[in-house]
Amino acid sequence: MSSSDERVVAVIMVGGPTKGTRFRPLSLDIPKPLFPLAGQPMVHHPISACKKIPNLTQIYLVGFYEEREFALYVSSISNELKVSVRYLREDKPHGSAGGLFYFRDLIMEDNPSHIFLLNCDVCCSFPLPEMLAAHRAYGGMGTILVIKVSAESASQFGELVADPDTNELLHYTEKPETFVSDQINCGVYVFTPEIFTAIQDVSSQRKERANLRRISSFEALQSPTRSLLTDYVRLDQDILSPLAGKKQLYTYETMDFWEQIKTPGISLKCSGLYLAQFQFTSPHLLAAGDGSKSATIEGDVYIHPSAKVHPTAKIGPNVSISANARIGPGARLKKCIILDNVEVMENAVVINSIVGWKSSIGRWSRVQAEGDYNAKLGVTILGEGVTVEDEVVVINSIVLPYKTLDVSVQDEIIL
Amino acid sequence: MKALILVGGLGTRLRPLTLSVPKPLVEFANKPMILHQIEALKAIGVTEVVLAINYQPELMLNLKEFEKKLEIKITFSQETEPLGTAGPLALARDKLIDDSGEPFFVLNSDVISEYPLKQMIDFHKAHGGEASIMVTKVDEPSKYGVVVMEESTGKVERFVEKPKTFVGNKINAGIYLLNPSVIDRIELRPTSIEKEVFPKIAADNKLYAMVLPGFWMDIGQPRDYIAGLRLYLDSLRKKSSTKLATGPHIVGNVLVDETAKIGEGCLIGPDVAIGPGCIVESGVRLSRCSVMSGVRIKQHACISSSIIGWQSTVGRWARVENLTILGEKVQVYDEIYTNGGVVLPYRVIKSSILKPEIVM
């Protein structure tokens, strides 16, 4: 088949409000996929990566958030990227494979030759065209993006073993207790439409088993919820594990960065990774300045055009400043995310922190953390509308929305 | 009249400052601590001050300079072993006693107060006893030695060391006026004036206590040094407020040496002393702190409740607070936070100190 008559669709799983609780307090005010990293909504990064796939016809966001939460974003990104982006709402969580299957008719509408499936909560360079080329060469049903990580951290993810010569997936196991492999599943896949048959098989086998049980077991009668699970299909345990070693699934290894965006702390790291990537993909988004007419900029910094930053401030590295934020004279921002409508007053310092929407940081105050992205309090998080009064110091703390801090705090969660 | 100042030991409680400068020469409100006392003594006509010291050649050399400036005779009485709070009086016997028969003052060098020495002389003459001591009222007498006295006359009845139940709230303020005969009661050996000498005089009904008007503070350790600065500047505000700085960037009581430079957009005060030759750059915030001579505080730094040692540098956007004590020539890098860091001389601080700790 020549690539010119191929059609490709991309599906990005965005989850729902009952997911992403580890992302609190930031996910209290906004769906996690819309939380900005490097000044762009989290989901923007996989979307703009999809835009680079040849013959892409459609991007679907699949999740169980309310339609209205994505309506505005979906219409503006469609306009911006000149590609159709639609939000599809699941009636309930179906799992990543189940979600894909639930919308199979829509996804197959244009008769695509390939379907990309991406999880929204991963941060990586999304080398999608390269993956697609590799997938074609392998000739399998699916290709999984994988990365090598340290042996200690591998067990938090799906560990997999691939043939070193053919790259065929030989073995897959989700979050094993013992070490299996240092290669892990990145949560980015490309499939041929046969994937729907594979999901269908899992689903119908489940139904048969459930029916058998219902007939044979009194216990099953007591527990009718069991049948509800038949359309919940996980991609990893239910599809990847059984199909490993059957010459249907292959791997494509990325040498770039990869993170799972589990917590606000990790999101600060990911924001920095995406800012660094802008040097190659979108240099026009990075700020510059030497303190003469505009603020002194160090390293990779994103400043929204509507934000006002005083020329005597010093910003960076790894800072993103969202819309309508005001950064006062002599302020210092380093390794932080400043959300919409935040005010940072003169001589204040913000380091290793995320400052929530409409928060106010007083004069000579200091919002800081040690910057251990994996620690519970390694990044200071201020929720929406938090006020830090003049000269107050907030260190290694999480502050829930609409609190006023008039005394210094350290290593605390402020409810 | 003569006076003895008990200088005593190495001032370990005021380390790391006293690793560079002998305690009596550590500046308090831009003036060596001991000069506060010597000037007060000079003002009421004392002509000779005897300093009871350990072997401290640097101190002796420096104080010889003040002798000329202040036109007061300064001599030294040097212990070869620690003699406690009374022993040094016996050691200095020949220096203190002359033909005049006049009483002499004994001052503790750690104490800062308004020194109402003239009133003390009048009090001493009026009661006609052998010794007068100043007492000061404290909130928690159980931490100190309490002086139990007859309120109307001031006659001291007894001393109670760290009383468990309330016996009174006046404690020994470390300022005495003694007749020469008191020295006859003291043997030349390590001995305590509070525990051994005064109780005997009190037993003879010859010890009287005067309640110290105004503030009093033992500034022998950093926390009390900073608290004492507030009390001292409050008192200076009432007595000679022209010495205090004024301007839109000043809040409360602030003492700035005329050779110090302060940049734009700073906010200084309350209770701050800035020593000679300091450079405070723009956008700096200082409160409740003492900045010794030759210090440079770079732009946007914020310092509170701390002491910055001689010729130290505090970097841009640094935050120094909560009883941080920087020794001499310490460098705090840009953007560093120090919460209660006690930093020995010449150290370079490149990473934040989040909890109080000592940096050797």
* Domain identity same for A329 and A208: no
pTM: 0.81
Please list every residue in chain A whose beta carbon sits closer than 8 Å to the beta carbon of residue B267. 363-364
* Domain identity same for A203 and A87: yes
* Domain identity same for A134 and A243: yes
Here the CATH number for the domain that contains residue A160 is 3.90.550.10
* Domain identity same for A242 and A346: no
Taking CA–CA distances from A349, the nearest residue in chain B reads B317
Whole-complex ipTM: 0.73
Q: What is the pLDDT of residues B107-163, one digit of tens each?
A: 988 889 989 999 999 999 999 889 999 999 888 888 888 899 988 899 999 888 888
Provide the pLDDT confidence category of residue B78 given band limits of 50, 70 and 90. Answer: confident
* Domain identity same for A279 and A217: no
* Domain identity same for A31 and A47: yes
The C-alpha of B302 sits at a distance from chain A's nearest C-alpha, in angstroms, of: 6
What value does the CA radius of gyration of chain A take, rounded to a whole number of Å? 23
- Give chain A's contact residues with B (Cβ, < 8 Å): 312, 314, 329-330, 332, 334, 346-347, 349, 351, 363-364, 366, 368, 370, 391, 393, 395-396, 410
Best of B302, B314, B322, B351 to disrupt the A interface by mutation (most A CBs within 10 Å)?
B302
Closest residue to A364, CB basis, from B285, B335, B339: B285
Q: Return the CATH fold of B2-218.
A: Spore Coat Polysaccharide Biosynthesis Protein SpsA; Chain A (3.90.550)
What mean pLDDT do residues B57-66 have? 74
**C-beta neighbour count of B6 within 10 angstroms:** 23
Distance of CA A380 to the CA centre of its chain: 20
* Domain identity same for A246 and A276: no
Confirm if B316 and B298 have CB atoms less than 8 A apart. Answer: yes
* Domain identity same for A50 and A126: yes
3 state SS of A268: helix
Confirm if A302 and A284 have CB atoms less than 8 A apart. Answer: no
* Domain identity same for A248 and A271: no
Residue B260 burial class via C-beta count within 10 angstroms: exposed 0-12, middle 13-18, buried 19 and up: buried
For chain A, how many structural domains are there in total? Answer: 2
Per-residue pLDDT of chain A (415 residues; tens, 9 = 90+): 445 568 999 999 998 887 667 788 887 778 999 999 999 999 999 999 999 999 999 999 999 999 999 999 999 999 999 999 999 999 888 888 888 999 999 999 989 999 999 999 999 999 999 999 999 999 999 999 999 998 888 888 888 899 999 999 998 888 888 888 889 999 999 999 999 998 888 877 777 776 666 555 555 444 444 444 567 888 888 888 888 888 999 999 999 999 999 889 999 999 999 999 999 999 999 998 888 889 999 999 999 999 999 999 999 899 999 999 999 999 999 999 999 999 999 999 999 999 999 999 999 999 999 999 988 899 999 999 999 999 999 999 999 899 999 999 999 998 8
Please list every residue in chain A whose beta carbon sits closer than 8 Å to the beta carbon of residue B299. 330
User: Domain range for residue A317?
Assistant: 265-414
Best of A319, A344, A347, A412 to disrupt the B interface by mutation (most B CBs within 10 Å)?
A347
CB contact under 8 A, A332 and B283: no
* Domain identity same for A217 and A326: no
Asked if B293 is an interface residue toward chain A (Cβ–Cβ < 8 A), one would say no
- In sequence order, what are the residues at sequence separation of 6 or more whose Cβ sits closer than 8 angstroms to the Cβ of residue A165? none
* Domain identity same for A209 and A289: no
Q: What is the pLDDT of residues B222-256, one digit of tens each?
A: 999 999 999 999 999 998 888 999 999 999 999 99
Q: What pLDDT does residue B267 have?
A: 96
Residue ranges covered by each domain of chain B: 2-218, 237-359
Here the CATH number for the domain that contains residue A347 is 2.160.10.10
Taking CA–CA distances from B316, the nearest residue in chain A reads A332
CB pairs under 8 A between A and B: 55
- CA angle (A10 as vertex; A9, A11 as ends), nearest 5: 125
Of A262, A287, A322, the position where a domain reaches its end is A262
Please list every residue in chain A whose beta carbon sits closer than 8 Å to the beta carbon of residue B300. 330, 332, 347, 349, 364
Asked if B356 is an interface residue toward chain A (Cβ–Cβ < 8 A), one would say no
Q: Return the CATH fold of B237-359.
A: UDP N-Acetylglucosamine Acyltransferase; domain 1 (2.160.10)
Asked if B203 is an interface residue toward chain A (Cβ–Cβ < 8 A), one would say no
